[in-house]
Structure 1
Amino acid sequence: MSYQQYPPPQGLPYPGPAPKLPDRRPRDPLAVALGNASLLGLGYFLIRRWLFGALGLVGTAVLVVLLCTQRKTGYEFALIGWGVLQVVHGWFLAQRHPVRAADLTKRLVALGVTVLVFAGVAFERYDVHRIDKEAVAARQAGDCGGVRAAKAKYGVGHRIGDAPRTVRVETDTTACDKVDAAAAVLRSAGPEADTDRLQVAFGMLTAVAERPEQEPITRTALNDFLHGLPLKDACQTVTITEWLRGRPKAGNLLDEAKQVIPRIEPDALLGCGNAKLAKSDWTGARSTYVQLVQRYPHAKQSDGARAGIKKADYEILQAQIQAELARVRELVSSGQYCSTPAKYSPAPKLRSGLNRAVFAGKTDYTSKLPSQWKGTTADNAAMVICAGEDTQGAAVRTCPYRPFVGGGTGIHYVTFHKISVPVQVYELRTGRLIQKTSVQISGAVCPATISYTTFNGVGAPDPDQYVRASTSNIQEAFRPLVVR
């Protein structure tokens, strides 16, 4: 039998395809809720609500990324809220359909996935706490290596399980980095006693020590530095102890660094003083010895310091004497002693009787004095006598002279004067001016003849002339200066 398709009656609309009816299949709300509790949108997928399932996955992924990067507690609560929202929404979404009898298979699948998710998170959270305890124990032991080893164990799963707690060990690691940097500066500053770098290093440690929980690792770095003292160079050790002594209190464990000073400073001061003494730094050695005696008067090292002070005092005195001697010699030889007198401490004191002198200035007359009167600045000279330019002194006698035949006419009168020599007498041991006078040298007067120059038969003798002084006259004039 065959059939022929007839067109629809004219004037009637074409009905088209049958309309799609809504899905009214029965749903199990508990299975949906359990599936959504996994935060994976599983409940939506079980009832073929693909869009909601995808949105659930995307929302969870975004919150997990934010939690792992920001690691703030707020994102953990956001994840919990997001899960609760999906559970409630899935439950009511399933209630809009006919409720069927329990679908045991779907419930078991949803429950299994959710349990796996929560078990994984719980395990990671437990592991975070375990690793954190290791980090805390390492930090309290001052073991930065242990802190870093604990941090290296953290992975993405740990950040998902308990992201905020993973931040704490990173704070410890950052503190360890700062402490290690400060320790490196201390190691470089110690052998050279570079106090500028010590200041920098202690400043870095102070910044870490401000947090009480970071004191153990700070103490480790400080102890490593202090255990390296004293240094091989005693004077560098003294430099460090002086810096520690003068460092203001900071109110933290770094103040304990001063406790090392009494243990190492006495030996360091004695060793430094000896080293300076060996290098002929007498003043520096004495200053170091004095510090030791003043700070530790009853220490056994102070006995050596007192002996060192005596040695340094002697050497300082000898150096001063040599400098004084060189200065006096230079001034005498250059003729500047009388304008710039200087002392020579070992020179003998002035006494009754003969006092030897160093004669400076004009030597026309002093060169004729006996050698017994003359001393040197190195042995027994007690004075320096400076002689100036001679001038005419007191008039002694006036005598008439008649020219020779053919030498003119008339009588010429000539007055003979003593030789006046200005002198300045200095006490050599003090450089003090003790006498300023003129020596009057006597001599013979009115010789039988005197000579003078004529020009074209015209001329006359000098009317004022010196006496004729002999060596004995010169010595007699200078005697009161050296014999007292």
Structure 2
Amino acid sequence: LSPAHRVADAPLAKRAAEEAEACELLLNSERQEGSQRLRAARTLLDYTDHPGARWEEAERHWAGLLLAEASDDLDTALTGDVEALDSGFRHLSAVLGEFPDGAGVADDAGEVLDGFLDRLPTDDACATERIAAWLGGREPGEKALERATGIVPEIEPGAKVGCGADLMADHQWAEALGRYEQVTDEYPDHELAAEARTGADDASAAIELDEVRDRLLVSTGSDIPDYCGTPAPYRKAAPYEGDGPHRALVFGDPDHKGELASSWLADGAGDAVLVICAEEPTMGATVETCPYESGLSAGGNQSVSFREKEIPIRVYEVRTGELVTERNLRVRGASCPETLEYEYLITDLGPPSEVYVTPSRDDVRNAYRSVIAP
């Protein structure tokens, strides 16, 4: 061939090389579709940009790959996975941005979106709540996707109330309260607003009860809990009113607590009406003075005065956490037994000059009755 003829054939060779390269990209894309769909889509984009590309349906096929990926992402998003939700919408936006009107691709994207929206709300209220929050917070974009934002007011109130109930069942009181308050703040006229207000009250009460329980814990080496110095309210407790008995938690009087009627004692903060904080007893009024033999006393006798117990108490209403009374309980009892028992360390110096009376069960109950069962 002449040199002129060889120059004329060069463009044909170049086109053949370009078409071969483009074909290799297309084949790579097909191989990647089975397990690496997004990589296949990127390879297909490289093909469409290549000067040797000849397949007119390449861009439409690229859109199909992205729509398939979007569909899978949105399936995953139904579990509440907002990263998958974001990914799915990005793929839809990419397709709609490339094919805003023609080729039927916009309709295909709409079908993927509708398939997702039609499954809302899901059976998992907290998952639906996360989806609704993401949809409501997304930036405006393609009009074809705006109906996803429009569904938020339809699904969000029920999702938040349902999620609040699920969180309550898991004892996540503060998180539940947040969901209920969002409904009452954002949807005050919704048919579920009343249920949300009730839920918020229950969640607040549960938070209060936890706080009361924490303050009622008695630390090592102490009989008095922090509650006795810093009480807290629990709104669901029964009010301190009427004749009673008003079930109470008694702290600081281990000698007498066991003498109280079981119907007077609360099992815990959840059913208590009162918290009674008792301090160390002091000597009260003298009931009787009697002589007892003592070899160390003049005349061989030692006078012993038997005195009532006075127990300083503070009484709090659990419902309000307020102090309802502060007084001394007077515990009466028997005096002057025939034989007086007493303790001494090393040397017996005779009986003490003052001792407490010996209260019976009725004496103890009569003392506490004025507070617990007035």
Give CA deviations for 1:195-221 in whole Å, capped at 9, x if unaligned.
Answer: 32343454456556666x775356345
Query: 1: CA distance between counterparts of 2:343 and 2:196?
Result: 73
Q: Contact conserved, 1:402 with 1:409, CA < 8 A, in 2?
A: no
Q: Contact conserved, 1:321 with 1:345, CA < 8 A, in 2?
A: no
* Cα 1:355/1:198, change in 2 over 3 Å: closer
Name the SS of the counterpart of 1:216 in structure 2: coil
The offset of 1:258, in angstroms, is 1.4
Q: Contact conserved, 2:163 with 2:179, CA < 8 A, in 1?
A: no
Aligned to 2:74: 190
* Cα 1:286/1:476, change in 2 over 3 Å: closer
Question: Of residues 57, 77, 83 in structure 1, which corresponds to 2:5?
Answer: 57
Instruction: Give the unaligned 5+ runs of structure 2.
Output: 20-43, 170-174
Question: Of residues 213, 216, 222 in structure 1, which corresponds to 2:102?
Answer: 216
Q: Does 1:461 align with 2:351?
A: yes
* Cα 1:200/1:171, change in 2 over 3 Å: farther
Name the SS of the counterpart of 1:190 in structure 2: helix
Normalised to the residue count of structure 1, the TM-score between the two structures is 0.49
Name the SS of the counterpart of 2:60 in structure 1: helix
Aligned to 2:206: 320
Aligned to 1:96: none
Name the SS of the counterpart of 2:315 in structure 1: strand
Normalised to the residue count of structure 2, the TM-score between the two structures is 0.61
Aligned to 2:28: none
Query: 2: CA distance between counterparts of 1:452 and 1:308?
Result: 65
* Cα 1:397/1:58, change in 2 over 3 Å: same
Q: Does 1:259 align with 2:182?
A: no
Question: Of residues 248, 263, 271 in structure 2, which corresponds to 1:358?
Answer: 248
Q: Contact conserved, 1:399 with 1:446, CA < 8 A, in 2?
A: yes
Give CA deviations for 1:141-177 in whole Å, capped at 9, x if unaligned.
Answer: xxxxxxx9xx9xxxxxxxxxxxx9x959759655435
Aligned to 2:86: 199
Query: 1: CA distance between counterparts of 2:164 and 2:102?
Result: 43
Aligned to 1:180: 64
> What percentage of aligned pairs have identical amino acids?
22
Name the SS of the counterpart of 2:2 in structure 1: helix
Give CA deviations for 1:267-304 in whole Å, capped at 9, x if unaligned.
Answer: 5447646865886867769948965994695xxxx54x
Name the SS of the counterpart of 1:219 in structure 2: helix
Name the SS of the counterpart of 2:139 in structure 1: coil
Query: 2: CA distance between counterparts of 1:446 and 1:275?
Result: 68
Q: Does 1:439 align with 2:326?
A: no
Q: Contact conserved, 1:266 with 1:292, CA < 8 A, in 2?
A: no
Aligned to 1:100: none
Query: 1: CA distance between counterparts of 2:363 and 2:17?
Result: 115
Q: Which amino acid aligns with 1:179?
A: A
* Cα 1:274/1:408, change in 2 over 3 Å: closer
Alignment map for 1:88-237 (pairs within 5 Å): 173=57, 175-193=59-77, 194-204=81-91, 216=102, 219-232=106-119, 234-235=121-122
Q: Which amino acid aligns with 2:275?
A: V
Question: Of residues 218, 221, 225 in structure 2, which corresponds to 1:339?
Answer: 225
Query: 2: CA distance between counterparts of 1:258 and 1:191?
Result: 19
Instruction: Give the unaligned 5+ runs of structure 1.
Output: 1-52, 72-147, 152-163
The offset of 1:349, in angstroms, is 2.2
Q: Contact conserved, 1:445 with 1:467, CA < 8 A, in 2?
A: yes
Aligned to 1:349: 239
Q: Contact conserved, 1:191 with 1:231, CA < 8 A, in 2?
A: no
* Cα 1:274/1:68, change in 2 over 3 Å: same
Give CA deviations for 1:326-355 in whole Å, capped at 9, x if unaligned.
Answer: 959x969x9999404465544332336555
Name the SS of the counterpart of 1:412 in structure 2: strand
The offset of 1:257, in angstroms, is 0.6
Query: 1: CA distance between counterparts of 2:128 and 2:344?
Result: 89
Name the SS of the counterpart of 2:308 in structure 1: strand
Query: 2: CA distance between counterparts of 1:366 and 1:69?
Result: 99
The offset of 1:425, in angstroms, is 1.7
Name the SS of the counterpart of 1:423 in structure 2: strand
How many correspondences in the alignment?
325
Name the SS of the counterpart of 1:465 in structure 2: strand
Question: Of residues 136, 151, 158 in structure 2, which corresponds to 1:245?
Answer: 136
Give CA deviations for 1:12-65 in whole Å, capped at 9, x if unaligned.
Answer: xxxxxxxxxxxxxxxxxxxxxxxxxxxxxxxxxxxxxxxxx6223212112332
Aligned to 2:309: 419
Structure possessing the higher radius of gyration over alpha carbons: 1
Q: Contact conserved, 2:164 with 2:179, CA < 8 A, in 1?
A: no
Q: Contact conserved, 1:355 with 1:381, CA < 8 A, in 2?
A: no
* Cα 1:375/1:449, change in 2 over 3 Å: closer
Higher normalized contact order (CA 8 Å, seq sep 6+, divided by chain length):
2
Q: Contact conserved, 1:383 with 1:427, CA < 8 A, in 2?
A: yes
Query: 1: CA distance between counterparts of 2:358 and 2:177?
Result: 62
Query: 2: CA distance between counterparts of 1:276 and 1:245?
Result: 17
Question: Of residues 299, 314, 318 in structure 2, which corresponds to 1:428?
Answer: 318
Name the SS of the counterpart of 1:192 in structure 2: helix
Query: 2: CA distance between counterparts of 1:459 and 1:195?
Result: 83
Query: 1: CA distance between counterparts of 2:373 and 2:148?
Result: 66
Query: 1: CA distance between counterparts of 2:67 and 2:363?
Result: 87
The offset of 1:234, in angstroms, is 1.4
* Cα 1:443/1:69, change in 2 over 3 Å: closer
Name the SS of the counterpart of 1:191 in structure 2: helix
Q: Which amino acid aligns with 2:11?
A: L
* Cα 1:271/1:354, change in 2 over 3 Å: closer
Query: 2: CA distance between counterparts of 1:293 and 1:432?
Result: 31
